[in-house]
Amino acid sequence: MLYYALVFLVIALLAAVLGFGGLAVAFAGIAKILFFLFIVLFLVSLVMHVGRRV
Please tell me the distance from the alpha carbon of residue 38 to that of residue 30, in angstroms, as a whole number.
12
Alpha carbon distances (Å) from 25 to 20, 30, 31: 7, 9, 10
Q: In this structure, are residues 15 and 27 in contact, taking their beta carbons and an 8 Å threshold? A: yes
pLDDT in the model for residue 19: 67
pLDDT score of 28: 81
Q: Is the pTM of this model over 0.75?
A: no
For the chain of 54 residues, list the mean pLDDT of each consecutive stretch of 10. 82 73 75 90 90 76
- The pLDDT of residue 20: 64
pLDDT at 54: 67
